[in-house]
Structure 1
Amino acid sequence: MWRLVFLVVAVRGAFVDDLPPSCSKLVYCDSQLLHHVQLQRIFKDSKTFVDLQMRNDQNTTLAAFDDLLNETNNNPTAEQLKSFVDKYFDATSELEDWTPEDHTDNPAFLQSIRDEQLKKFGKDINGVWPILGRKVKPEVFEKPEQYSLVPVSNGFIIPGGRFKEIYYWDTYWIIEGLLISGMRDTARGVIENLIEILKKFGHIPNGSRWYYQERSQPPLLTAMMSLYIRETQDIEFLKANINALEDELKYWLDTKIVAFDKDEQSYTLLRYFAPSLGPRPESYYEDYTDAQQFDTQERRNEFYIDLKSAAESGWDFSSRWFIDSNGENTGDLKTIRTRDIIPVDLNAIFANALQNMAYFRAILKQPLHAAHWAYMAKQWKSSIEEVLWNEEDGIWYDYDISNNQHRRYFYPTNIAPLWMGVVDKRLVKKHAPRVMKYLSNSPGLKYPGGIPASLINSGEQWDFPNAWPPLVSMVVNALEALGTDDSKELAFNVAQTWVRACHKGFTENKQMFEKYDAETPGRFGGGGEYTVQFGFGWSNGVVLEFLTKYGRRLTAVDNPDKYGGSSVDSSSSSDSSDLQDSGSDEK
């Protein structure tokens, strides 16, 4: 049996001198070509260039660019760069539209929805799956070296908008929605794609692009498998892939673990940690420009690592990762220190993954393996309780290992241990009144458009006033897990608010958004590095989850005064010009 070996990486230090590039395809990750094209802003969106396919192999492309540098004394003009890109790259999509064969117009879940408007809403959302369906074109498999896209064998559901590839943690809520829509074969194929990627890289990158190679996202693969097995009882599929699931857990244990002391006790938990050289390729201009505020290259390298580590969390970006000189979450990206924070949600997700692995091994009748993972899950849950639970406030908080303190701010992920089912029943009962008091006293659950990612209006997209579907799902399921009448009723009210907001937005715009405005029901969110995206995979999945869970009670009638006003002096500056349609990919 594999034995746990903790690889503890220094929080800060000389390791920056030995960093790998962001990926092994240098054109897209570590080349003068990338640097010049991105800094000259040949494309408004930095992601556009690294999504292009090469017309020739990498060596030919880089050699041709070296010639251009020699001809221009290392200073090509924007026009020369554009001509080079037009000659050596192709914007034709690597994907083709794909309609899943198991999609039906009237899935069974619709019958459980009493409100006719919401029943139509559910049917309309179910109808979006084929619009978001994609399959990799054969030519990508024939010449994979010329693409940044990582080819996968099965069709899949894209998130939408500029996100035209698989994204790791998005897929959890997409899988949930597909299963609700009765699309078991599609869900299985999507999981197979992730396992295919896992076997290729030894982990699942942020997304199915080479430039995401050196960072992952929240490790939800075993949770996806759990959703699928619970729905299908497909034990043979589990048996065929159990070793791959285990390999992913080993990757996180080998690369993301950190040792620290709290209250004179030593602990090891996970953090987001994505060390590699340079800016994120898909946001190269933005990262490079922001890094110029630092005086040394070493400090810039650390800044890049913290940006990538935050991107690994899925929360790119948020005050959640800011640590100013006073240890507070104020400031801006200059104060980002993701590596110094032990996140509640990451460790709850991982404890759940350990539990899932123990369960999987047990149903496969492998008791020794099951006992191993069960023991690790027990230890992880204990560490979460001892490190992240704040007795004074009655809630779990992220922990700052540089200042040895809880980060006592409202984020929906504070109750992630309940969402992931990693709080022992005895403690759930003990904590329930405290958690309910914390939530009742916080303005976070009192907005008419959903639960904001935070109460800090930093201008970053994972902060106020943006409300994100996966965070709302976390809160609803965490409240249900508390098991009291009050918590279950609050869970329903949160779901009701969210479904009504999404329904209003869909009725007005005929689109689901990636994120919403907590202050204005149905309005799309703003802020961050790109305009709001249509689609949208996880938004669809969460609404279908709530329609299925509460379909007999939910109504589409608006009641904007139900939760009262807000306590944050903030407003969204989004307008219709910020919208970006998912549309069809350019063929």
Structure 2
Amino acid sequence: MQMPDELYQRLFRDVQLKKIFPDNKTFVDCTPNSSIESILSGYEKLCATHPSNEAVKKFVEDHFTIPPASSPGYHTNKKAGIADHIEELWNVLQRSADKAVKGSSLIPLPYPYIVPGGRFREVFYWDSYFTMLGLAESNRWEIIENMIDNFACLIHTFGFIPNGNRSYFLSRSQPPYFSCMIELLAVHKGDEVYKKYLPAMRKEYDYWMDKTYPTKHCVQLDNGTVLNRYYDQLSKPRPEAFWQDSALSEACTDASQLYRDLRAACESGWDFSGRWFKDGKTFNTIQTTSLLAVDLNCLLYHLEATICRGLTLNGDAAEADVYDEKAERRRKAINKYFYNAADGWYYDYTISEKKLNNQKTLAGFTPFFFFIPPEKYIDKAAAVVHGDFLKDGGLVTTLINTGQQWDWPNGWAPLHWITIKGLANYGKRNLAALIAKKWAALNIKVYRSTGRLMEKYNVIDTHLTAGGGEYPSQDGFGWTNGVLLKILKTYK
């Protein structure tokens, strides 16, 4: 399946570099109204006249269907309670099974699904797990199973779950929460779920372990230990952010590596953050592929353990033992290579320097979400959460303000749930409840004043909206809805 830059060539470059649309994602999500050949031929004729930007925009509007920025015709009822509002939003954010359209970047999915909202008109991989938490509280198990079946279909078609169901995402995945989704569904449907999706889990595992594609997700350390990093198959500007990537590369000596690291950060879901910057502040020092990511390795530990469970249920004890050993080796490696005993926090690991990265981020609490650390580690970690990350509106994602959306002063729903659940796992229920209360209060405050649930929030100054990043803050919003509803039901 060709990406938009390959498909539309000169037209693509002109539209993106001339910034015909304020958001580079708009054009790559357009649907052609005629054949690709006739569009390209028509544009070549137009180019002979040295068209203005307005003429190029009119050409696109004449030959493509422009996607709406949000759900047309939907108006918030601000008098509705927050839980009722979320119940209504599930219907607004649901999409039917897709039909293939030649020339469209959308990868058609066979079952209905939930999109995040705003500019995100497709399913996103890791967003979907946190969205499912709320769907489960709404007893919407059919759409949860539909979405898992869609992801299984993507795995069996492409060998992995792309970042989202767009052709321009086919060079990377996102944090692998597929096994967590299966675990969630098994609560409702029982252990047969593990057996049903076992082939898909094993195939996804092969992708992350470099057996499907030569992606270089795996890094072997000096003692033979293999751990994982985020890594994109391509090293060229992202079609959905073509202008931004091209502009950033002008001040860079190795554009190819820059593009790879930008794309790898997108695979991490943290696009973008000083977490990935070598100097902690400057965008063009991004070094995503130079770091072993603590959260990714925790997710792969869970995938190994879940595959083991599926194999055990299938009666394949010998193969189950293999994956049990893989999971145990990774658990020990996470505690060895990512843990800083001095402050009790987990960090990413810098490959070339063979030491912990110096950026303290909320990703460092992920091991507790998966029961990876020993019990004795929780006191120090909880003190860091309370002392460094907890603010008036909830948890700040990092302790640095770079202007990037995954840094101070912003907080995000998925990291709140990971931390709340991780604390509860280790008996720190009072701190978990305090964080839940602060985060829910901020979500509800913004909803009451705007009628919206947002993609991210400013947790430092709760009177200000969240900012930073490549695009304005989006409303909708799948994972915010899911985590908030889960918190409301769990903590009453």
Partner of 1:123: 84
The match for 2:457 among 516, 521, 537 is 516
Q: Distance in 1 between matches of 2:16 and 2:8?
A: 12
Matches within 5 A, 1:108-187: 120-136=81-97, 140-141=99-100, 144-187=101-144
Partner of 1:545: 486
Could you tell me how far 1:260 is from its partner in structure 2? 4.6
Letter in structure 2 aligned against 1:416? T
The secondary structure found in structure 1 opposite 2:406 is coil
Partner of 2:12: 34
The secondary structure found in structure 2 opposite 1:525 is coil
Q: Distance in 2 between matches of 1:94 and 1:62?
A: 26
- Decide whether aligned partners of structure 1 residues 94 and 451 sit closer, same or farther in structure 2, where only a CA change above 3 A counts: closer
The secondary structure found in structure 1 opposite 2:343 is coil
Which of these two proteins has the greater Rg computed from alpha carbons? 1
Partner of 2:283: 333
Partner of 1:465: 409
Could you tell me how far 1:309 is from its partner in structure 2? 0.4
With normalisation by structure 2, the TM-score equals 0.92
Partner of 1:405: 355
Matches within 5 A, 1:392-471: 392-423=342-373, 427=374, 429-440=375-386, 442-445=387-390, 447-471=391-415
Partner of 1:371: 321
Letter in structure 2 aligned against 1:135? S
Q: Distance in 1 between matches of 2:195 and 2:367?
A: 28
Q: Distance in 1 between matches of 2:177 and 2:201?
A: 10
Could you tell me how far 1:238 is from its partner in structure 2? 4.1
Could you tell me how far 1:212 is from its partner in structure 2? 0.7
Letter in structure 1 aligned against 2:396? P
The secondary structure found in structure 2 opposite 1:198 is helix
Residue 8 of structure 2 contacts residue 40 of structure 2 at CA under 8 Å; is this kept in 1? no
Residue 5 of structure 2 contacts residue 239 of structure 2 at CA under 8 Å; is this kept in 1? no
Partner of 1:233: 190
The count of aligned residue pairs is 485
Letter in structure 1 aligned against 2:114? I
- Decide whether aligned partners of structure 1 residues 95 and 466 sit closer, same or farther in structure 2, where only a CA change above 3 A counts: closer
Partner of 1:313: 268
Q: Distance in 2 between matches of 1:80 and 1:475?
A: 51
Residue 94 of structure 1 contacts residue 136 of structure 1 at CA under 8 Å; is this kept in 2? no
Letter in structure 2 aligned against 1:506? Y
Matched, 1:287 2:237: no
Q: Distance in 1 between matches of 2:178 and 2:216?
A: 16
Could you tell me how far 1:240 is from its partner in structure 2? 3.4
Letter in structure 1 aligned against 2:425? A
**Unaligned regions of 5+ residues in structure 1, if any?**
1-22, 100-118, 552-587
**Unaligned regions of 5+ residues in structure 2, if any?**
75-79
Q: Distance in 1 between matches of 2:285 and 2:490?
A: 41
Letter in structure 2 aligned against 1:525? A
Matched, 1:505 2:446: yes
Letter in structure 2 aligned against 1:24? Q
Give RMSD over aligned pairs. 2.6
The match for 2:201 among 245, 248, 263 is 245
% same residue: 32
Could you tell me how far 1:219 is from its partner in structure 2? 0.6
Letter in structure 1 aligned against 2:322? H
Partner of 1:383: 333
Matches within 5 A, 1:215-226: 215-226=172-183
Q: Distance in 1 between matches of 2:69 and 2:104?
A: 8
Letter in structure 1 aligned against 2:56? L
Could you tell me how far 1:360 is from its partner in structure 2? 1.8
Residue 396 of structure 2 contacts residue 410 of structure 2 at CA under 8 Å; is this kept in 1? yes
Residue 229 of structure 1 contacts residue 238 of structure 1 at CA under 8 Å; is this kept in 2? yes
Q: In the TM superposition, what whole-angstrom CA distance separates every residue of 1:79-124 from its partner, at most 9, and x where no partner exists?
A: 3422332333222679999x9xxxxxxxxxxxxxxxxxxx943233
Q: Distance in 2 between matches of 1:467 and 1:549?
A: 20
Q: Distance in 2 between matches of 1:228 and 1:355?
A: 16
Partner of 1:190: 147
Could you tell me how far 1:499 is from its partner in structure 2? 1.0
Q: Distance in 2 between matches of 1:317 and 1:86?
A: 31
